[in-house]
């Protein structure tokens, strides 16, 4: 008996066609599957969106998560075709909106429309379909012969077919002549029954530090109603405090009830805010270390935590918890 897959199409480059305004989504999920020819799966298709992923925002995350939750019954796995630009954000948010997910949910897309002769879309879609019947629960991205954990994925290239990397954790699987080759000791989703938890607060700001940034910027962030801040700090998580005192500015935000999460601008290796004075001063002000989370994951995790009504203390505890492998335990070396 063929395994059953639910395919949810949302648009993106993979489904795009040429227009006077440039590429725009125009093909259906049925069109995408037709380009692959005969398949050894029983695929049910639902076209839920037709958007460039630049236009996919928190409301679309809630829609996609709801569709996965409500329609997953009777299927072995779910594939979501999606544009690449915000795919890492969607994959991270689905991780939190679907705690305890009980089947594979695999996002994929392409750098060229599936209708073009040299497109990477057919292989990416085939890999996603195969991961969807693997029996391994979780949220993943399938791209360029790799399966990546959704909450660890980052888009690193705009034209290369190897558009995504899992920069601080090994790939979940690779695809070669032996088929789908899984990495041992994979992180698993939270235990317990799958739940749908789509309440979020999107009033979160991501700021990349530059030398000389004015601390008044952060006062402005608070004044416009922001509820949380994620900062890409220098190196291991350093914030300057000489002349332009960002550390005190962070403390003021925390005192006003605005959680501040600090990650590193460096893609590779973890941050460690306990190593240098510039990090320890910030910790004393109450900032929350992002450890080795990607910025995409930190942003979506904070939006979700705020939406669940967590207090600052609860958010700090939540950021110490690895829900689905988004943080590497400190007793386990990075790859």
**8-state DSSP, 70:** H
Of 249, 256, 313, residue with least CA distance to 282: 249
Instruction: Tell me the C-alpha distance between 115 and 220, whole Å.
Output: 46
Burial of 160 (0-12, 13-18, 19+ CB in 10 A): exposed
Is the CB of residue 60 less than 8 Å from the CB of residue 51? yes
Of 328, 292, 330, 69, residue with least CA distance to 186: 328
Catalytic residue among 10, 67, 76, 84: 84
Instruction: Tell me the C-alpha distance between 303 and 52, whole Å.
Output: 22
Burial of 1 (0-12, 13-18, 19+ CB in 10 A): exposed
Q: In the beta sheet, which residues pair with residue 89?
A: none
Radius of gyration of the chain (CA): 20
Active site residue 52: no
Kindly report the number of other CB atoms within 10 A of residue 194's CB atom.
Answer: 16
Catalytic residue among 52, 85, 120, 292: 85
Active site residue 54: no
Active site residue 85: yes
Instruction: Tell me the C-alpha distance between 143 and 131, whole Å.
Output: 11
Q: Is 3 helix (H, G, I), strand (E, B) or coil?
A: strand
> Which residue, chain included where needed, has tokens 């630049």?
54
Active site residue 50: no
Catalytic residue among 13, 81, 86, 95: 13
Q: Is 79 helix (H, G, I), strand (E, B) or coil?
A: strand
Instruction: Tell me the C-alpha distance between 306 and 257, whole Å.
Output: 11
Active site residue 123: no
Q: Which residues are the active-site residues? A: 13, 84-85, 155, 276
């Amino acid at each position: 008996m063929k395994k059953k897959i639910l395919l949810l199409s949302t648009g993106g480059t993979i489904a795009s066609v040429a227009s006077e305004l440039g590429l725009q989504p125009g093909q259906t999920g049925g069109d995408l599957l037709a380009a692959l020819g005969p398949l050894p799966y029983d695929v049910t298709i639902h076209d839920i969106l037709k958007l460039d992923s630049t236009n996919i925002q928190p409301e679309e995350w809630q829609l996609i998560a709801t569709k996965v939750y409500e329609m997953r019954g009777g299927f072995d796995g779910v594939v979501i075709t999606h544009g690449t630009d915000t795919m890492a954000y969607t994959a991270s948010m689905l991780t939190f909106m679907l705690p305890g997910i009980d089947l594979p949910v695999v996002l994929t897309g392409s750098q060229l429309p599936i209708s073009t002769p040299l497109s990477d879309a057919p292989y990416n879609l085939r890999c996603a379909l195969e991961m969807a019947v693997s029996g391994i629960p979780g949220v993943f991205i399938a791209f360029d012969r790799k399966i990546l954990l959704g909450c660890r994925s980052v888009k690193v290239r705009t034209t290369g077919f190897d558009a995504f990397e899992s920069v601080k954790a090994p790939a979940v699987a690779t695809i070669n002549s032996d088929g789908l080759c899984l990495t041992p000791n994979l992180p698993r989703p939270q235990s317990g029954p799958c739940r749908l938890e789509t309440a979020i607060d999107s009033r979160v700001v991501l700021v990349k530090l530059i030398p000389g940034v004015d601390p008044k910027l952060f006062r402005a962030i608070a004044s416009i109603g922001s509820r949380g801040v994620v900062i890409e700090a220098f190196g291991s998580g350093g914030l300057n405090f000489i002349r332009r005192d960002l550390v005190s500015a962070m403390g003021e935000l925390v005192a006003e009830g605005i959680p501040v999460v600090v990650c590193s601008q460096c893609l590779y290796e973890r941050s460690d805010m306990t190593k240098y004075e510039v990090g320890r001063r910030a910790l004393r002000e109450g900032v929350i270390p992002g450890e080795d989370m990607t910025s995409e994951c930190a942003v979506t995790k904070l939006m979700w935590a705020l939406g669940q009504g967590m207090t600052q203390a609860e958010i700090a505890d939540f950021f110490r918890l690895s829900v689905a492998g988004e943080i590497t335990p400190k007793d386990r070396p990075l790859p």
